[in-house]
Structures are given as structure tokens and as C-alpha cells.
Structure 1
Amino acid sequence: MLVQKVCSRKDAIAKILTQAQGQEFYTTYNPWSSHLPRRLLILDSSFNPPTKAHANLLSKALASKPLNYFDGSLLLFSTNNVDKQLTGASVLQRAQMMELMAQTFDQDVAVGFTPYGKFVDKAQAIQAWFKSPVELYFILGYDTITRLFDPKYYSPVSAKEALAPFFKTCHLICANRGENNEEFWKGVEQKVDRIQLDPETEYISSTLARSLLASGRQGDKLNDILDPRILEFIRNENMYE
């Protein structure tokens, strides 16, 4: 039923994506009707496709704080990623899959897009959209957080100098997949909350999901990796074949 509901919005979502070109941040699905969040949890990923690991990341981050600590969550996709070219699912298909994932949560979870690849720029765009100060909590995987502090993205200024405005209103939640690079963590001056994925989702990735789908394999493995509604949508769209 949920898949049909989201599919019925395909034209409406496509229209938003077309009209929003050039905007720094916009939403295609926004349940924040009664209020705008003041403390926002953000899961920024490629969602190609969204997996049970994505859902576990959001659930674990929500559970890491007291009940109702966050008054809104956001699934965020950067249309111009600094490290990746767009392959696989189209932006429209990702918007639909992200909406499917968002609606499986009890909390108000929106779906948003930005053209920016750098977190400093993403944060500024989101803050500008809200028009009043918002505390932003970005959930990052270990690989992403190491890129965030990589000096090569900020030359000629230092990463510390470039990220100083970011950390005035933004916080980081890092999800470990068994990594334990203490040397890296010693060099991170900012406070970063660390969470651990459930063991059954630690191995899950979008790359693995695409590989299994491309091979034509069915069965329990895909059901372990993808929510059944996401899997239904992918098969309806004949994606990743």
C-alpha cells in the first residue's frame, strides 16, 4: 500500500525536482506541518538504494539521545557529491525510495536535497532554509568522517579553520562498522558522539545490494539487506539489472 502511495506521487515529486533546480536546499517530502524542528537529525547518504543499514543508522542515532531530544529528522541527498558521479538510481527514484524509508519511522522524517557536496555548505544551505537557528546533528559513517577532516578538501586554508563555522551549530554522530582507529580519533578535537550498528547490519551496504540485484539473485539475502517495500519498488522499476 505504501509503495503505491509513493508511486502515485511520482509526477508531483518530479515537478518539485525540476522546479527546485538551482536551489541550495529543498524538500520533496516534508511532514513538518505543525512545526519546524529546532534540533534536527540528518542522515546524509547516496541512498542507492536505501538499505536496512541506513534505517539502523537513524534508529541508533535517535536512541542515543533522550526521548524527543530531536524534534525532526532528515534524509539528505547531495546531487553533486564531491567524490562520486551519479550512477544507478536516478534522483527521482532516490527521492521515492527515501520517501518510502522516511514513512517507516514514527518520528517526522523529511526528504531533502542539496547540490552541495561539502558539509560546511550543506549546513549553511539548511540553516538558510529554516531562517532561524537550528541545531544540526549529522550522522556520518567512519569513511565519511575521515573525508570531512581531510585537508585536501579545504586547501589553501586548514581543515580546522574551514570547519570552525560548521561546528558552531553542527554536531557529529559517527557510526562505527568495527573500525577502531584511535590515532584518527586523537586528532579530532571536536566532540563526536559514536554509535555502533547492530551486528546483523554491519556488513550491509548499497554496493552489496546493487551487486545482488544485478546478478539476478533472489531469496533471503536481499530480504536481509532491503526493506520489503524498497525491494518491491526496485523490482517494479526494473532497477540495477
Structure 2
Amino acid sequence: MEHAELSPQEISLFMELGRAAKACLQAEGACIELLGQPGAEMLECSTWAVMPAFFISRTLDHREMLNWALTRGGFHKALVLLDLRHADKATHQAHLLDRYAMVRLALLQDNTATLALASRGRFLDKAQALAGLFPEGTSWSFLVGMDTLARVLEPKFDQEPSRDIQDLFSRASFLVFERPGWSHVSLPEGLQGRIRLARLPEPLREISSSNIRMARQLGLPWKHQVTPQVAEFIERTGLYLGTPDIYEPRRKALERLMEEAQGG
């Protein structure tokens, strides 16, 4: 089927990602692997907005969150982390390689952000790895929605949640964007100063990856929620139609490519 076909450009790009993913997953402890080593002047930048890219579709609100951080939030550079493993989210059909492609199309077209792989999904693991990535004295914050902050404060996989939350917030601060239905999250005592709230324009606050998947399956309008490049990619690959046999040939092709890239 046409959806299984991969262009030469995709094969080259995905092989590079597969090799980087192997190195990242084989590292001892939590690892963050930069994709396309940035120049020294980028690493020396003093303030970074760090966006974990565990969302499945790359929507306009994610793009606007980055823009807000860089134009109004006081950050100089942005780092987008693509999770190789999720702590509490399923991948909802899209293969890692296609999620990588959508991140590039949605968030990296204007060179305002650097992309990296994260070997682990927990925010504490990311914070520990980032401490070894940035030069001493670098200031940075996680860039998330209010729904994500709620999950951070109620972790499912931490053996000692209270201690791990305190450890996380001693290492990292958060720039948090309000989400519909998440107007308030109770913060543990002493953490308020580590969280900064922001608001997107009203139309963008209603956008979500789950809404896009549902609308596409039901035949409802959805393209207004993503960039034109991402919309074209979703249509071309057969993503999110709710009919497994349409996307499955491409998924299998991507799995074979990933195995080849990792020497499997």
C-alpha cells in the first residue's frame, strides 16, 4: 500500500534517529542525546525552555507555547525532548519515527528549537540528565500544560512520590500553560515559587492531540489545529484514521528500518 512507502529522505532521517536512539537507550542512567550537535554558542545560552514532546500530534498550541516562551517568557533558546519511553502515556498508534517527523515539521522549521532524545519518561530522570547536559549556571524550565503538571504531582511510577517531587522541584522550575478543565491544581507547600503560570489565546487553549485523533476518525474538521505541513503528513501516512490496516504497512516498514538502524 502507498502508506508503507518511505521516501529516500525519510529513510536517511530515520536511520540517523534510530542510531541515536540506540546510543541513548544503551547509556547508563537517564540520557539525553542531542540530534544534530548545536554550536557552542547555543549551549552557552543562559536561559532554556525545555518542552518534553510526549504529545502524539504536533498541534498549534504546542508551537505557540514555544513562541510564547521565547518572545514573552524571557527564554533565549528552546530544547524539545522526544521521549523514547513514556512514563504514563500510550503512543496512540504513531510510531516513534513518525512522531519524530511531526516534531520536526511542527516545531523546528524556523530553527528556534533544538531537538534531543530522552531515554526515560519521568520528569525527575529528565531533570537529572539535563543537569549533565547544560553548562554550570544555565537557567532552564520545563514547558508544559496544566494537565501535565497534574500528572507530575500525582506520579504513578515513583516508589517515594513525595521525596521524588521535592527532588524534582529542587532541580527544575516549570512554565505551565492553562488547559480547559485544568484551571486549578493543588500545589504542595513550598513549590509555588517553582511554578509560573501562562495563558494561550482562547482558540488555542481548546486544541489537543486527542481532539485531533477523534475528529479525524469521525470525519470532522481537524486541520485547523495543526500546521499545514503536519496536516499533509498525517493524511499521507494514514495516521489516526482508526483503521489499523491503513497505517499498519507503514508501521511495519518503520519497525524494520528501526531494527536495521540499531543493528538488529
Instruction: Give me the TM-score of the superposition, normalised by structure 2.
Output: 0.74
SS of 2:50's equivalent? strand
Distance change (3 Å), C-alpha of 1:15 and 1:187:
same
How many corresponding residue pairs?
Answer: 228
Which blocks of at least 5 consecutive residues in structure 1 are unaligned?
none
User: Contact (CA 8 Å) 1:100, 1:230: kept in 2 or not?
Assistant: yes
Does residue 200 of the first structure (1) align with residue 203 of the second (2)?
Answer: yes
Paired position in structure 1 for 2:48: 40
1:74-114 superposed Cα distances (whole Å, 9 cap, x missing partner): 1223222221233321111111111122323452x012221
Distance change (3 Å), C-alpha of 1:73 and 1:6:
farther
Does residue 114 of the first structure (1) align with residue 118 of the second (2)?
Answer: yes
Q: Superposed, which structure 2 residues align to 1:49-60 within 5 Å?
A: 49-60=57-68
User: Contact (CA 8 Å) 2:87, 2:157: kept in 1 or not?
Assistant: no
SS of 2:233's equivalent? helix
Distance change (3 Å), C-alpha of 1:5 and 1:33:
farther
Amino acid at match of 2:122: K
Paired position in structure 2 for 1:166: 168
Which blocks of at least 5 consecutive residues in structure 2 are unaligned?
1-6, 242-264
- Residue 11 of structure 1 is aligned with which of 15, 19, 36? 15
Does residue 148 of the first structure (1) align with residue 155 of the second (2)?
Answer: no
**Higher helix fraction (1 or 2):** 2
Distance change (3 Å), C-alpha of 1:122 and 1:199:
same
Deviating more after overlay: 13-22 vs 37-46: 13-22
Distance change (3 Å), C-alpha of 1:198 and 1:75:
same
1:219-241 superposed Cα distances (whole Å, 9 cap, x missing partner): xx323111000111222222222
Paired position in structure 2 for 1:181: 184
Instruction: Give me the TM-score of the superposition, normalised by structure 1.
Output: 0.80
Does residue 237 of the first structure (1) align with residue 237 of the second (2)?
Answer: yes
- CA distance in structure 1 between the partners assigned to 2:191 and 2:38 by the alignment: 35
Cα deviation, residue 5, structure 1: 10
Cα deviation, residue 22, structure 1: 2.4
Q: Superposed, which structure 2 residues align to 1:23-102 within 5 Å?
A: 23=27, 24-29=31-36, 31-32=38-39, 34-36=41-43, 37-65=45-73, 69-102=74-107
- CA distance in structure 1 between the partners assigned to 2:155 and 2:98 by the alignment: 33
- CA distance in structure 2 between the partners assigned to 1:201 and 1:233 by the alignment: 21
Cα deviation, residue 216, structure 1: 4.4
User: Contact (CA 8 Å) 1:31, 1:110: kept in 2 or not?
Assistant: yes
- CA distance in structure 1 between the partners assigned to 2:18 and 2:159 by the alignment: 37
Distance change (3 Å), C-alpha of 1:55 and 1:151:
closer
Amino acid at match of 2:172: C
- CA distance in structure 2 between the partners assigned to 1:46 and 1:198 by the alignment: 22
Amino acid at match of 2:35: T
Structure 1 residue ranges, 4+ long, deviating more than 6 angstroms after superposition: none
Cα deviation, residue 135, structure 1: 2.1
Paired position in structure 2 for 1:222: 222
CA RMSD of aligned residues (A): 2.8
User: Contact (CA 8 Å) 1:56, 1:198: kept in 2 or not?
Assistant: no
1:16-35 superposed Cα distances (whole Å, 9 cap, x missing partner): 23443324111335544643
Amino acid at match of 2:76: D
- CA distance in structure 1 between the partners assigned to 2:49 and 2:204 by the alignment: 20
1:121-151 superposed Cα distances (whole Å, 9 cap, x missing partner): 1111122233644322111211211222226
SS of 2:222's equivalent? helix
Amino acid at match of 1:60: W
Distance change (3 Å), C-alpha of 1:135 and 1:226:
same
Amino acid at match of 1:95: Y
Deviating more after overlay: 5-14 vs 96-105: 5-14
Distance change (3 Å), C-alpha of 1:30 and 1:226:
farther
